Chains A and B, each alone.
Chain A
């Protein structure tokens, strides 16, 4: 008697659970495939490389995701209690070996495949003739410094830091006389940029979505990264490492301009300094 009503209950629950899982898979897949909310187009080949690796990862995890969730839905529905006895199976070493091997090949293989994108940013040395720009994080804004015509940064010291001299330029150092300090990161189109990250106080995170570039700026360290941008426009720079109460408002703009426009912009910044 109890077993019978238990069976009816079990059919309803099994059906609901299976439907819930199928719906969940469907909705999730829809939003991932329709790309309702998605990353913006990359503005250099490095970014596109990362996107390709993302797509590869998405396909593999997507297949595993759909297979396991729908598999779960199916066994939940198929093997609901009908008052009988379960099959007495303790395991199957062949199956274990198969899915262990499959998982190793898929997951580790994917990791090795992703090496190229990572290598471009970090293993490969910075190309000759890259334009060096320094970025300093502080609570709560970014400061950029260009070396000027001499191509050399002037020395800086913490004790010189004031409102009007935010990076602490030593005015006795002639190399610093033509340094340009800005609050916007202007870069010439297509030119290789070496960005040297530093921080004055706590740890900050430099992030530009369209460059697919993120790197923490740690105090006490100089961390170089390099990039180039192939599409002109304004892009948001956000802080992605918790740096205090103003973390969310620590932002700046990356301006990608044709070479001539960039020169004009830099000269203008210098004049307004």
Chain B
């Protein structure tokens, strides 16, 4: 920290391509860098899932470029990398570090993040982490096969326990360790910025809900990633230095007795991992909640219903998120009494989630809904969050979870609620803020087409997984006909694969729209959506120092839409009360 002490914000823009676009300290450039990293990662992750679906559909398919047959271990490697890339490199980067970096300082009226150099380091550390993860595909033995949860001892015994468990798994852990460090740097930056750099008059209860979401997410990151880092170091030592934190004694793997280890606890890894892992779920989804609330209010032309309740609900989700990790471990041999306590805490998370849902409906109620692409995705977020969230009530109960745990019901649940819902949060953010970032709107027709394929497509992929799960189909099977009752379910697998193929193909539309609109999109002025928050008071794209060296003042809450007696149906945060009279109807 102290190393930055002399570096008070200097407001001269940097010179030269390298310092302007690569090693930039400008929060806007870093935000875009994170976003682009997430776009590369999300297409990589989707491509991997497509290969998995092809394998389940057509087990003997020969994939061009893949050495030899599509073996089970290749399937598991794809699955592990799909999960890791999506959870870390997409869901943790774009919604928080991407949009947050770009818009948090602007929405609070600041010129930059609190620690620009730290911000740059945070991005490049993430980049190293991503590169390291992708490199795991190309090392001897290939990528790890132990899933994104990397349960020990499969993940700790080395290549004897499976292909990819050698160097590939080591690369995976190193990548995760880098990612933890990067996330911690980011979290410190976000929280400090929000606490210390708010504009005059911008009290906590006048913050846009996006800022609240980034703030709460940053706190979760700050408290969770240190634990994962510690767990990762323990795992690395088990693998490389012969310690026995997670490896018990007396193991016989592939007929070879493992003599180097004694007494380690595989459960310990699960506890540490899920202590991080459950807050991580909220790290992924809370920024989406913020973006959805923001967009719903903007395009319903109405204040957010129950602003304070929204803030309290998000905070409650964040706090409860640290007390429920055990619900991932109902079948792990944990004390049943502890399990029951975890279960009740988890059911309790349903309460703030329900509050949020009702408030979203309340926000739309009585509104004047404008169906922009951004709005469609925000509404899509709400329906996905409800569908995915409710299945959580099944999994949260240990008795019902006994049947559903590690069946397809689980991927159905989490893909809807934290995967696709969070991605919809990113879409809604993209359609909303693209004009601010680039000065041009995304093509609305393409955007809507993209939505009309993606929402039904998503449901077509993930709803049937519930029925697979109910029928008892275990997840993470390289062969979807392996167990006697599975072949009867194969039609569902085919249906999912086809739906996935169509939905993934439709994402090309999005990519095309991003590139096309950058050059040919309709020009956007300062405030194309007639919105109220501070980002719409500065030019599109914003200048280097955001507010041109002056500090904006804020006079009211973030969602003053449809204020009776005022001429416009939106009343921006920065308009001085004294100047309102002239505009009055």
User: Do A and B touch, yes or no (CB under 8 Å, in the complex)?
Assistant: yes
Q: Which residues of A contact B (CB under 8 A)?
A: 6, 9-10, 13-14, 16-17, 20-21, 24, 27-28, 31, 36-40, 49-50, 53-54, 57-58, 60-61, 64-65, 68-69, 71-72, 75-76, 79-92, 95-96, 99-100, 102-104, 107-108, 110-112, 114-119, 121-123, 138-139, 157-159, 161, 163, 168, 200-203, 205, 207, 209, 212-216, 218-221, 223, 236, 238-249, 251
Residue of A nearest to B353 (CB): A103
B88-96, B274-282, B332-340: which lies at the interface:
B332-340
Contact of B489 with A69 in the complex, beta carbons under 8 Å: no
Residues of A within 8 A of B71 (CB): 245
Q: Given A14-B371, A203-B154, are A37 and B396 neighbors across the interface (CB < 8 Å)?
A: no
Q: Assuming A114-B398, A118-B339, is B562 touching A86 (CB within 8 A)?
A: yes
**Docked-complex contact B249 and A108, CB < 8 angstroms:** no
| B:344-380 near A, CB below 8 Å | 344, 346-348, 350-351, 354-355, 357-359, 361-362, 364-371, 376, 379
Q: Which of B380-419 contact A (CB under 8 A)?
A: 382-383, 386-387, 390-391, 393-394, 396-400, 402-403, 405-407
Interface residue? B471 (CB, 8 A): yes
- The reply to whether A247 and B478 contact each other, CB–CB distance below 8 Å, is yes
- In Å, the complex CA distance between A203 and B300 comes to 51
> Separation in Å of the A181 CB from the closest CB of chain B?
15
List A contacts of B250 (CB < 8 A).
157-158, 219-220
- Determine if B555 is an interface residue (Cβ-Cβ < 8 Å): no
| Smallest Cβ-Cβ distance to A60: which chain B residue | B393
Please tell me if the beta carbons of A118 and B394 are within 8 angstroms of each other in the complex: no
Q: Tell me how far the C-beta of B301 lies from the nearest C-beta in chain A, rounded to whole angstroms.
A: 4
Cβ-closest 9 pairs across A and B:
A220-B248, A122-B336, A117-B399, A87-B366, A91-B306, A111-B347, A248-B477, A248-B482, A245-B73
Please give, as numbers and ranges, the residues of chain B lying within 8 Å of A118 by CB-CB distance: 336, 339-340, 343, 397-399, 402
CB–CB B348/A108 < 8 A:
yes
Query: Could you name 12 residue pairs across A and B whose Cβ atoms are closer than 8 Å?
Result: A16-B452, A27-B463, A38-B471, A61-B393, A72-B383, A79-B364, A89-B366, A95-B306, A100-B351, A108-B351, A158-B252, A244-B161
Q: Are B489 and A111 in contact (CB under 8 A)?
A: no
In the complex, what's the smallest C-beta–C-beta distance from A154 to chain B, in angstroms? 16
What is the size category of the interface that chain B forms with chain A?
35 or more
CB neighbors of A among B228-287 (8 A)? 248-255, 257, 263-267
- Given A57-B397, A81-B368, the answer on whether A103 and B153 have CB atoms closer than 8 Å is no
Determine whether the beta carbon of B479 is less than 8 Å from that of A249.
yes
Q: What are the residues of chain B within 8 A of A249 when measuring CB–CB? A: 479, 482
- Do B307 and A90 touch (CB < 8 A)? yes
CB within 8 Å for A91 and B305 given contacts A158-B250, A214-B331: yes
**What chain B residues lie within 8 Å of A243 (beta carbons)?**
154
Q: Answer whether A61 and B391 are a contact pair too, CB < 8 Å, given A96-B355, A103-B354.
A: yes
B257 to chain A, nearest CB (A): 5
List the B side residues contacting A111 at CB < 8 Å. 343-344, 346-347, 396-397
| Partner pick for A238 among B163, B265, B301, B483, CB 8 A cutoff | B483
Closest to B569 in A: A85
Contacting pair A86 B366 (CB below 8 A): yes
Chain B residues within an 8 Å CB radius of A202? 151, 153-154, 157, 161, 253
Judge whether B471 and A79 touch: CB under 8 Å: no
Assess whether A38 is in contact with B254, with CB atoms less than 8 Å apart.
no
Instruction: Say whether, besides A91-B362, A248-B72, A36 and B348 are in contact (CB < 8 Å).
Output: no
Number of inter-chain CB pairs below 8 Å: 353
CB-contact partner of B361 in A68, A157, A219, under 8 A: A68
Interface residues of B in 546-573 (CB under 8 A from A): 561-564, 569
Given contacts A13-B371, A118-B399, A203-B154, contact A107 B393 (CB under 8 A): yes
Contact B344 A108 (CB under 8 A): yes
State the Cβ distance, A74 to closest chain B Cβ, in Å. 9
Decide yes or no: A205 and B348 within 8 Å by CB, A81-B368, A245-B73 being known contacts: no
Give chain A residues whose Cβ lies under 8 Å from the Cβ of B302: 86-89
Q: Which residue of A lies closest to B403 (CB)?
A: A212
Q: Does B484 contact A (CB under 8 A)?
A: yes
Does residue B476 face the partner (Cβ distance < 8 Å to A)? yes
Inter-chain contacts of B394 with A (CB < 8 A):
54, 57-58, 61
A214-B333 Cα distance, complex, nearest whole Å: 11
Are A76 and B369 CB-contacts (below 8 A) given A114-B400, A223-B333?
yes
B365 touches A75 (CB 8 A): yes
Q: B474 in the interface, Cβ–Cβ < 8 Å?
A: yes
Evaluate contact between A90 and B303: CB separation under 8 angstroms. Answer: yes
> Complex Cα distance A161/B152, Å?
22
Cα A85 to Cα B350 with chains together (Å): 34
Q: How far is the CA of A161 from the CA of B368 in the complex (A)?
A: 73
B257 lies within 8 A of A50 (CB): no
Given contact pairs A139-B253, A247-B478, A75 touches B350 in the complex (Cβ within 8 A): no
Residues of B within 8 A of A49 (CB): 399
B352 nearest CB across to chain A (Å): 9
A253 → chain B closest CB, angstroms: 9
Q: A111-B347, A123-B336, A247-B476 are in contact. List 19 more A-B contacts (CB 8 A).
A: A10-B370, A21-B383, A24-B459, A28-B387, A50-B399, A57-B394, A71-B361, A76-B369, A79-B365, A79-B368, A81-B369, A88-B564, A96-B358, A118-B336, A118-B398, A200-B253, A212-B402, A212-B403, A214-B403
Q: Would B340 and A115 count as touching, CB distance under 8 A?
A: yes
| Chain A nearest Cβ from B199, distance in angstroms | 22
A214 to B346 alpha-carbon distance, docked (Å): 20
Residues of A within 8 A of B455 (CB): 20
CA of A69 to CA of B569, assembled, Å: 28
Task: Give chain A residues whose Cβ lies under 8 Å from the Cβ of B516.
Answer: none
Q: Is B467 an interface residue (CB 8 A)?
A: yes
* Residue B456, interface by CB 8 Å: yes
Report the minimal beta-carbon distance from B304 to chain A, rounded to whole angstroms.
8
Chain B residues positioned under 8 Å from A207 (CB to CB):
406, 472, 474
B539 at the interface (CB under 8 A from A): no
Contacting pair B368 A85 (CB below 8 A): yes
Which residue of chain A lies nearest to B557 when distances are taken between CB atoms in the complex? A90
- Given A99-B354, A114-B398, A220-B265: A245 and B365 within 8 A (CB)? no
A103 vs B471: C-alpha distance when bound (angstroms)? 29
